[in-house]
Chains A and B, each alone.
Chain A
Amino acid sequence: MNNNSTGKMQMQADKQIALAGNPNSGKTTLFNELTGSRQHVGNYPGITVEKKQGTCIQDGYKINIVDLPGIYSLSAYSIEEVVARDFLINEKPNAVIDIVDASNLERNLYLTIQFLELGIPLCIALNMMDEAETRGMRIDEKRLSRILGVAVIPTVARSAKGKDQLMAAVMEMMSHNKEYTPLEISYGSDVDSALLTMIKEIITADFLTERYAARWTALKYLENDAQMIAAGQEKNPVLSARLLKIREKLARHLKDTLDTYPEAMIADSRYGYINAILKQGVVQYSHDENKLYLSDKIDKFVIHRFSGPLIMTAVLVGLYQFTFAYSEAPIKWIEAFFEWVHAMAASALPPGLLQSLVVSGIIDGVGGVLGFVPLIMFMFLGISILEDSGYIARVAFMLDRVFRMFGLHGNSVMPYIVSGGIAGGCAVPGVMAARTLKSQKERLATLLTVPFMNCGAKLPVFAMLISAFFVNHKAQIMFAITAISWAMALLAAKFLRLTVIKGESTPFVMELPPYRLPTVKGLFIHTWERTWQYIKKAGTVILGISILVWAMMTFPQLPEEKELMFAQEQLAMHSAYPAAVANELSIKIDQKKLSSAAQALKKKLSHIEGKRAEAALRHSLAGRFGIAIEGISKWAGFDWRTNIALVGGFAAKEVIVSTLGIAYSLADIDTEAFDSLSETLAHSPNWNPLAAFSLMLFVLFYAPCFITVVTIARESGSWKWGFFSMVFNTIIAFMISVVVFQAGSFLGIGIRP
């Protein structure tokens, strides 16, 4: 055994590389090329920024690679910036690959300069060289490398060009164990002299020097960096106050003399430094700089005042159709599969608690959750296409004005539509679609309000109530429901942004990246990893809650003497008919071939079974709860039966119809029972169109189904918001239903004479 080489192996295995750079510069594409399928996605603790990690084998060694979120600068305003900066400073990766979009060299170098000011082991991947070329740019990377003092490797991440040279340069860099001294540039004499004073104080007091170079700390103080100042305040409040005083003095001086701010001076100096570099023959343009490129030509239509909104509508409706139409078949397969497992388990296990737990609790629960998988996959595929091609930024641009009025963001439109903005969506992928929003407050407000939309699971409830009470106004009622859901969601968002999530809207300033053709590999990886995250969740939390809801609707069970009573009743019914008839029931499965006597018996038996199920439901925890709150719920027009159904609806909104059926003693609520339920309600003295409408509004707005709640908790990074959505939505729904029901009753609208 060669000791030396194992030792080297060990050391190398610990190496970590970070990929950093501007948004859309090609980090993830390069990451995918480097790691292939050896990657996984997680979240940074407590926040929702995706953390992509993978490994790559280079020269026989295993190297960890982290794909950092795209940033424009090393300030600490956006959560992406904080994540990237903290990673670079705290985790101290052995090498940082700065992916620079060569076609936008100047602005990309602004971040590069800040990396150099931080003093980290840097290697530049000069990416998008193909685009730079078509734009007539000729870049002398050797010269750039010499001036910056770091390796610069031209790459085209999309076709893996330059990947090997890049990795060779990185390996070479990691093999020297050298110290990286921060780049020092001049920010003008005023700033420089303030900086010097501060550095002296920082070094004397050994202030934060274990984490940051003194110059970096001073620079961040001058830039008024909230995160740095908070850290300093904690460490040494006296010195921190002194540093702030120096900053203040400088700020006042700059305001008086040049009418500018320290952070502006610093930024301008960085750009000045970059310009000086570029002027040394690094870039040459071979043709007209003002030429219109393909992207500009496309934009002439795509964001045009008239054709823009039309195209956008077509794209959004198309995305919706794509998601829901294509996922229909796979969803059916999954459902059929779980029905089969359901039937298998039901026949394999003896009737009783265990059967009920496995069949109704576990199999139906997991089946219900996995049924969403095709939906989530297709939606993320669609969204990935829009994201990678650059279209999503145009949507945000065109709709910003509208959504901003409600404290949201132009990109909120996608989650809303997917959740049911066009009737029949689903809030689970909708909440996940809110990932396209980069501004945190707007994003939270969006994902908390999308459950108000008219999702597909609410439709059977509406359909049943409409056919019972509004047969002649089906289309109008459906349209009204969708319109009301939009209005409510937007108003709720506004309310949230004025109260619990209040604060200035995040600055919009953003880039409309050039249109690019997405790569199949990128789309595939992106779609799969998001879907996988959802499936993993289904295996754990969601299974637990599904069993909990099952237990609530099953326990406590009917006392034995009651069960006995129903059994005896059925027995008596059997013996009232000739034995041949009863026999017929036990062998023939086909309904139509039964004799009329046997059919009559079957009906009576199922009537008794229905009564038993109703009694059992009434006896269960959910039933008792429903009865207990009848005193309050009747303000909105709901009796205990409705209450139980609404509790069941927390598992999935479709369950409302079947539970209501059980509560009305309609056993086996499947096909015909749907009609019989709506008939039963239509003739029940407890019901009238007003109560039905009030229930429809309640179903539209009350607590999201638990799968959505879990998704909200996950996507917002905190269970707090999951619970909040349950309570907040239920309160709103109840208030609306009470107002509608009471006003209607008072005015005599929708009640029976």
Chain B
Amino acid sequence: MNRIKMREMDDNQKGVISAIKVAGELGRRIRDMGLIPGTEIKIKGRAPLYDPIVLQVKKYILALRNSEAEHIMVDVDEQ
């Protein structure tokens, strides 16, 4: 197991969220969209200019900016 920031994840990489390191509105939005510790996610890709990121959470698809993915810690398998 390896703990990295979500923005550092590769396309098609899977992981489990371990922590959300931000409070206030941004933290709130992230949690409202179902991104909480313990959630499995999979990076589906990035926008044409490599920002924002698209990811799959359970049955739905979310997009968030690199600057926002910066605050989300994810446990991934060693590559």
Contacts and interface: CB of A to CB of B under 8 A. Distances in A.
Given A107-B33, A509-B64, A511-B60, A73 B28 contact: yes
A73 to B, nearest CB: 4
A263 B26 CA distance: 12
Contacts of A337: none
A117 interface: no
B60, B64, B68 interface centre (most CB from chain A within 10 Å): B60
Contacts of B24: 224
Interface string A289-315: 000000110010001111011000000
B23 A508 contact: no
Nearest to B51: A401
A77 B54 CA distance: 23
A622 B65 CA distance: 51
B78 interface: no
Nearest to B23: A261
A507 B20 CA distance: 15
B59 A72 contact: no
A271 B20 CA distance: 15
B1 interface: no
A61 interface: no
A107 B65 contact: no
Contacts of B54: 299, 303, 397, 512
B34 A106 contact: yes
A678 interface: no
B36 A397 contact: no
B26, B29, B64 interface centre (most CB from chain A within 10 Å): B29
A110 B28 CA distance: 13
Interface in B22-43: 23-34, 36-37
A264 B32 CA distance: 10
Interface string A470-509: 0000000000000000000000000000000000000111
B62 A510 contact: yes
Contacts of A267: 28, 31-32, 36
Interface residues of A, number: 43
Contacts of B20: 264
Contacts of A135: 59
A104 interface: yes
A299 B29 contact: no
A576 B58 CA distance: 92
Contacts of A303: 45, 47, 54
Q: Which DSSP category, helix, strand, loop or mixed, fits chain B's interface?
A: mixed
A752 to B, nearest CB: 47
Given A259-B19, A507-B26, A512 B61 contact: yes
A75 interface: yes
B61 A511 contact: yes
Nearest to B20: A264
Contact of A397 (B23, B28, B47, B60): B47
A299 B61 contact: yes
B49 A402 contact: yes
Contact of B47 (A224, A400, A513): A400
Contact of B36 (A271, A507, A514): A271
A315 to B, nearest CB: 15
A326 B42 CA distance: 43
Nearest to A137: B59
Contacts of A103: 59
Contact of A401 (B36, B49, B64, B68): B49
Interface string A184-199: 0000000000000000
Contact of A509 (B29, B44, B58, B60): B29
Interface residues on B, range: 35 or more
A397 B50 CA distance: 11
B63 interface: yes
Contact of B34 (A110, A299, A305, A402): A110
Given A264-B20, A267-B36, A507 B59 contact: no
A106 B52 CA distance: 24
A726 interface: no
A386 interface: no
Contacts of A299: 44, 54, 61
A511 B62 contact: yes
B63 A268 contact: no
Contacts of B65: 400, 404, 508-509
Contacts of B19: 259-260
Contacts of A264: 20, 23, 27, 31, 36
Contacts of B48: 305-306, 308-309, 398
B28 A75 contact: yes
A135 B58 CA distance: 12
A135, A295, A296, A510 interface centre (most CB from chain B within 10 Å): A510
A306 B24 CA distance: 36
A135 B59 CA distance: 9
A263 B36 contact: no
Contact of A508 (B31, B49, B52): B52
B67 to A, nearest CB: 9
Interface string A258-276: 0111011001100100000
A513 B46 CA distance: 17
Contacts of A261: 23, 27
A106 B58 contact: yes
Nearest to A293: B59
A155 B14 CA distance: 34
Interface string A510-534: 1111100000000000000000000
A398 B61 contact: no
Given A400-B47, A401-B51, A104 B58 contact: yes
B39 to A, nearest CB: 8
A263 B28 contact: yes
Interface string B53-79: 010001111111100100000000000
Contacts of B63: 393, 397, 508-512
Contacts of B44: 296, 299
Interface string A83-117: 00000000000000000000110110010000000
A188 to B, nearest CB: 13
Contacts of B31: 263-264, 267-268
A390 to B, nearest CB: 10
Interface of B: 19-20, 23-34, 36-37, 44-52, 54, 58-65, 68
5 tightest A-B CB contacts, nearest first: A401-B49, A72-B32, A267-B31, A73-B32, A107-B34
23 contacts: A75-B28, A77-B29, A104-B59, A106-B58, A260-B19, A263-B23, A263-B31, A267-B28, A267-B32, A267-B36, A268-B31, A268-B36, A271-B36, A306-B48, A393-B63, A397-B54, A404-B65, A508-B65, A511-B60, A511-B63, A513-B60, A514-B60, A514-B61
Interface of A: 72-73, 75, 77, 103-104, 106-107, 110, 135, 224, 259-261, 263-264, 267-268, 271, 295-296, 299, 303-306, 308-309, 393, 397-398, 400-402, 404, 507-514
Given A104-B58, A271-B36, A514-B61, 7 more contacts: A106-B34, A106-B58, A267-B28, A305-B46, A306-B48, A393-B63, A400-B51
